[in-house]
Amino acid sequence: MTGPVTSNDVLSELRAALAPHGVFLRGVVNFADGEAAPTLGDGKVARSVALLGNVGGSIWPAFDHWRNSLPDRGGEHPLDVWSKVVIEPVARAFCATAYFPSDPPWQPFQQWAMRAEGLKASPLGILIHPQYGLWNGYRGALGFAQALPSAAAPNHRHPCDHCPGKPCLSSCPAQAVLPSGFQIAPCRAHLKSMEGQGGCMAGGCLARNACPVGAAYRYPAQQLHFHMASLSL
Give the whole-angstrom CA distance, residue 106 versus residue 99: 9
Residue nearest to ligand B12 (CB): 125
157's CB contacts (< 8 A; 6+ apart) are 130
Residue 132 half-sphere exposure toward CB, CA atoms < 13 A: 19
Output 17 or 79, the one with its CB closest to ligand B12.
Answer: 79
Residues that bind ligand B12 (CB under 6 A): 101-102, 106-111, 124-127, 136-138, 181-182, 184, 205, 207-208, 227, 230-231
CB of 30 to ligand B12, least distance (A): 17
Nearer to ligand B12, 10 or 24 (CB): 24
Min separation Cβ 2 and ligand B12, Å: 29
- Closer of 45 and 231 to ligand B12 (Cβ): 231
Residue-by-residue DSSP string for 188-201? HHHHHSHHHHHTHH
> What count of other Cβ atoms lies within 10 Å of the Cβ of residue 104?
6
DSSP type of residue 215: G
Considering beta carbons, is residue 96 or 211 the nearer one to ligand B12? 211
Q: How many CB atoms lie within 10 A of CB 163?
A: 17
CB of 6 to ligand B12, least distance (A): 29
- Minimum distance, C-beta of residue 184 to ligand B12, in the bound complex (Å): 4
